[in-house]
Structure 1
Amino acid sequence: MTYNAIAIRSHFPALTAGLAHFDGPGGTQTPRQVGAAIALTLTRPLTIRGTRSLPERNAEAAVQGFRQACADLLGADPRGIIYGRSATALTYDFSHHLSQHWGPGDEIVVTRLDHDANISPWVQAAERVGATVRWVDFDPATGELTAAMVAAVLTSKTRLVAVTAASNLIGTRPPITAIAALVHAVDALLWVDGVHNTPHASVDVQTLGADFYVCSAYKFLGPHCGVLAAAPELLETLHPDKLVASTDASPERFEFGTLPYETMVGVTAAIDFLAALVPAGADAAAAGAAAPSRREQLLASFAALEEHEAALRARLESGLAELPGVTIHSRAANRTPTLLITFANHSAADASLFLIERKVLAPAGSFYALEASRVLGLGDAGGLRIGLAAYTTAGEIERLLVGLEDFLQQP
């Protein structure tokens, strides 16, 4: 099925401002369907969850709809879907929950490829209980983080390994399934940061082997919040601190306070929008077959999206290769359509400001991936990050390349 980026863009009011958005890794723009769903939830009868009154049922439907939609997106069990204020907040929460079982002699593994939100919570939790932190490096020349690199630091004392499914700085996708097998072989848990991965590829947490998989809805066209997927049986083994009167049922016992029903409905609407990126049900309907499930539609949409983004990335890379003094630091064989570049004689920050004047948004920095930026030899300054999204077009790629060419002609 043909991917029609122009048709998709018609649903995004923000895109009428004339800006070319290459800032998707920091947060995508939002389709009007998401905003409408949020507004409707806030303005119709609503109260605390229940089954008796209409307001109670509306609240209950918002929560259950959110869990099922996220389960369809991630190939997970809806009973293991947890809402969080952000992926960072969820990671901090679970670093406290999990570290209750750690102590001196235990080892926690983090990587230098990760966003700091998947490093500091684990390092701080380990330090608090006297556990040892072990680090996994990556190859700065290729951007690769291999299963062998993880295997080198695993021992019988390993309790948890935290690793990204895709680097938010250079796009590298480590081999999570292979890493999961190694982690489970030493009877440890695997926490996967899927924040940058989820907007660009279909996800199946069971196939990946992730014990915990966290992502952020505002990176895939939704509102600002985090989502965690885990096996319900695993969650049952964890007992967080909570209010005496609050439920002990899972996953609710991990969600503190009254939930923001409007935000949860917004996430569901974003997932429904992703499922409709390509009309997956058209052929089935014409043949008289049953309509595909939302999960099947999502798989079809992401297959088309990956093909679209791969073509745009190829054109972008070829264009950047023709520009003098440009270094592309995104080199892994398997990676997202996110490029980090630097310039021989110009600063990335200046490039970003120059592009803003052209209404092209490509931010500069290390984007909280401090360890990765330092391994690349870029210090804390990082580089210019160019990220593609579901609404990026070939014309915008050309607009960016022209802008960079003009910038490099500046003294």
Structure 2
Amino acid sequence: MSFDVAALRACFPSLAGGTAHFDGPGGTQVPSAVAEAVAATLTSPISNRGSVTAAERFADETVLAARSALADLLGADPGGIVVGRSATALTFDLARTLAAGWGPGDEVVVTRLDHDANVRPWVLAAEAAGATVRWVPFDPATGELTADDVAGVLSERTRLVAVTGASNLIGTRPPVTAIAALVHTAGALLAVDGVHLTAHAPVDVRSLGADFYTCSPYKFLGPHCGVLAADPALLGTLRPGKLLPSTDAVPERFEQGTLPYELLAGTTAAVDFLAALAPDPGSRRDRLVAAMTAVEEHEDRLRERLEAGLAELSGVRLWSRAAHRTPTLLLTFDGRDAADAYRFLADRGVNAPAGSFYAIEASRWLGLGDTGGLRVGLAPYSDAGDVDRLLTALREWLAG
């Protein structure tokens, strides 16, 4: 399918200000349809979920619609879609719940590539249970994390492996399906942080082999909340802490307190917005796969344009080199501070932040300490003009 980025950009009021946004990995801009869905829900008669009043039924329909939309986006079962405050909060809750069955001699595997939200919850839960933490390295020269790297730390004592679907710092996409096969052969569970991946490529949780998959709608044009996808049968075996009168049904038993109905409506609108990028008839799932495939191709074309331009600039080091990666680039500069580049670009209407972005283990493993570098992230609404503005501004800064 063709990808009309000009028509897409017209749907985003924030882009009218003229800023070139390369800060999507930290949270994308939002189309009008999402904001309108949030506002409409907030101003409609609504109550706690139920079946007696119209307000109760509206709340219930809003929740079920969001579960259905997210299931279509992720290739998951709507009965296994859990909504929470953030992917980080959901992972902490999941880690504490699973750790109740761990003890001395058990092992939990985390990687040096991951965002800390898929590291620290598991490390802290393992330590509290007396379990051992095993670390998977990645190649700092290429950014690659392989299935063999994971295989090297697995054992019959492994209970869970946590791995990213894509690095939010350097874009690396590990071979999750191959890793899942190894993990399951070892008799362990696999938790995949899909926060960064979901924004840039079609996702099929079942094909990936993820037992648990987290993502965040605000990274794919939606509002701020978190999502956990899993097999409902697996969720049914887990017993999280909950309030006594709250339901024990799955997935509600994992959702503490009243859900943010307006954010769920915005999430459904974001998924529908993405699906509408594919004009062909078919199920919403089919249209989402086609749309996200087109997004991936569009972003890859821009990434190649950006990388070609960066190669012409002296004193710039590109750390994003994995063969399979998202359009998220990490840059450092010979003898110059990335934070200075961040401020210089901002003054010229180009948003590309500097830091390690909670991927603290990855930044340290690369030898960048806690400082990281300048992160340049492309999004569906990025265009060639944005890329050229960034390159021009960087050239000006480097010449200064």
Q: Same fold (TM over 0.5)?
A: yes
Q: Describe the superposition over 1:326-367 as per-residue Cα deviations: whole angstroms up to 9, x where unpaired.
A: 110000000000000111121110001000010000000000
Pick aligned residue for 1:331 from 316, 321, 334: 321
Confirm or deny that 1:37 pairs with 2:37. yes
| Residue in structure 1 matched with residue 71 of structure 2 by the alignment | 71
Deviates more, 1:272-281 or 1:139-148: 272-281
Q: For residues 257 and 361 of structure 1, what CA distance do their matches in structure 2 show?
A: 36
Confirm or deny that 1:169 pairs with 2:134. no
Q: Describe the superposition over 1:60-105 as per-residue Cα deviations: whole angstroms up to 9, x where unpaired.
A: 1000001000000000000000001000000000011100000000
Report if aligned partners of 1:113, 1:371 keep a CA contact under 8 Å in 2.
Answer: yes
Q: For residues 261 and 312 of structure 1, what CA distance do their matches in structure 2 show?
A: 36
- The runs of 5 or more residues in structure 2 that have no matched partner are none
| Residue in structure 2 matched with residue 393 of structure 1 by the alignment | 383
Q: For residues 118 and 307 of structure 1, what CA distance do their matches in structure 2 show?
A: 27
Q: For residues 385 and 250 of structure 1, what CA distance do their matches in structure 2 show?
A: 38
| Residue in structure 1 matched with residue 396 of structure 2 by the alignment | 406
Q: Residue 174 of structure 2 aligns to a residue in which SS?
A: coil
Report if aligned partners of 1:280, 1:301 keep a CA contact under 8 Å in 2.
Answer: no
Offset of residue 31 of structure 1? 0.5
Letter paired with 1:374? R
Correspondence 1:126-137 to 2 at 5 A? 126-137=126-137
Q: Residue 405 of structure 1 aligns to a residue in which SS?
A: helix
Q: For residues 173 and 303 of structure 1, what CA distance do their matches in structure 2 show?
A: 16
Confirm or deny that 1:315 pairs with 2:308. no
Q: Describe the superposition over 1:293-327 as per-residue Cα deviations: whole angstroms up to 9, x where unpaired.
A: 11011011011111111100000000000000111
TM-score, normalised with respect to structure 2? 0.99
| Residue in structure 2 matched with residue 341 of structure 1 by the alignment | 331
Report if aligned partners of 2:13, 2:31 keep a CA contact under 8 Å in 1.
Answer: yes
Q: Describe the superposition over 1:7-42 as per-residue Cα deviations: whole angstroms up to 9, x where unpaired.
A: 001111111111000000000000010011111111
| Residue in structure 2 matched with residue 360 of structure 1 by the alignment | 350
Correspondence 1:287-302 to 2 at 5 A? 292-302=282-292
| Residue in structure 1 matched with residue 237 of structure 2 by the alignment | 237
Letter paired with 2:256? F
Q: Residue 314 of structure 2 aligns to a residue in which SS?
A: coil
Q: Residue 256 of structure 2 aligns to a residue in which SS?
A: coil
Offset of residue 278 of structure 1? 3.1
Confirm or deny that 1:350 pairs with 2:340. yes
Offset of residue 175 of structure 1? 0.2
| Residue in structure 1 matched with residue 363 of structure 2 by the alignment | 373
Report if aligned partners of 1:192, 1:212 keep a CA contact under 8 Å in 2.
Answer: yes
RMSD between aligned alpha carbons?
A: 0.6
| Residue in structure 1 matched with residue 86 of structure 2 by the alignment | 86
Q: Which aligned segments of 4 or more residues in structure 1 are displaced greater than 6 angstroms?
A: none
Correspondence 1:224-263 to 2 at 5 A? 224-263=224-263
Letter paired with 2:288? L
Confirm or deny that 1:268 pairs with 2:258. no
| Residue in structure 2 matched with residue 60 of structure 1 by the alignment | 60
Q: For residues 79 and 404 of structure 1, what CA distance do their matches in structure 2 show?
A: 48
Letter paired with 1:278? A
Letter paired with 2:60? E
Letter paired with 2:341? A
Letter paired with 1:322? E
Q: For residues 277 and 14 of structure 1, what CA distance do their matches in structure 2 show?
A: 19
Report if aligned partners of 1:108, 1:122 keep a CA contact under 8 Å in 2.
Answer: yes
Q: For residues 100 and 335 of structure 2, what CA distance do their matches in structure 1 show?
A: 50
Q: Residue 229 of structure 2 aligns to a residue in which SS?
A: strand
Report % sequence identity. Answer: 66
Q: For residues 369 and 242 of structure 2, what CA distance do their matches in structure 1 show?
A: 41
Letter paired with 1:340? L
Offset of residue 280 of structure 1? 2.4
| Residue in structure 2 matched with residue 141 of structure 1 by the alignment | 141
Q: For residues 48 and 26 of structure 2, what CA distance do their matches in structure 1 show?
A: 33
Report if aligned partners of 2:278, 2:288 keep a CA contact under 8 Å in 1.
Answer: no
Q: Residue 257 of structure 1 aligns to a residue in which SS?
A: coil
| Residue in structure 1 matched with residue 123 of structure 2 by the alignment | 123
Q: For residues 280 and 168 of structure 2, what CA distance do their matches in structure 1 show?
A: 29
Report if aligned partners of 1:312, 1:393 keep a CA contact under 8 Å in 2.
Answer: yes
| Residue in structure 2 matched with residue 14 of structure 1 by the alignment | 14
Q: For residues 119 and 259 of structure 1, what CA distance do their matches in structure 2 show?
A: 26
Q: Residue 33 of structure 2 aligns to a residue in which SS?
A: helix
Confirm or deny that 1:182 pairs with 2:172. no
Confirm or deny that 1:5 pairs with 2:5. yes
Letter paired with 1:363? P
Report if aligned partners of 2:67, 2:81 keep a CA contact under 8 Å in 1.
Answer: yes
TM-score, normalised with respect to structure 1? 0.97
Q: For residues 234 and 405 of structure 1, what CA distance do their matches in structure 2 show?
A: 52
Q: For residues 243 and 377 of structure 1, what CA distance do their matches in structure 2 show?
A: 45
| Residue in structure 2 matched with residue 98 of structure 1 by the alignment | 98
Letter paired with 2:396? D
Report if aligned partners of 1:195, 1:219 keep a CA contact under 8 Å in 2.
Answer: yes
Aligned residues: 400
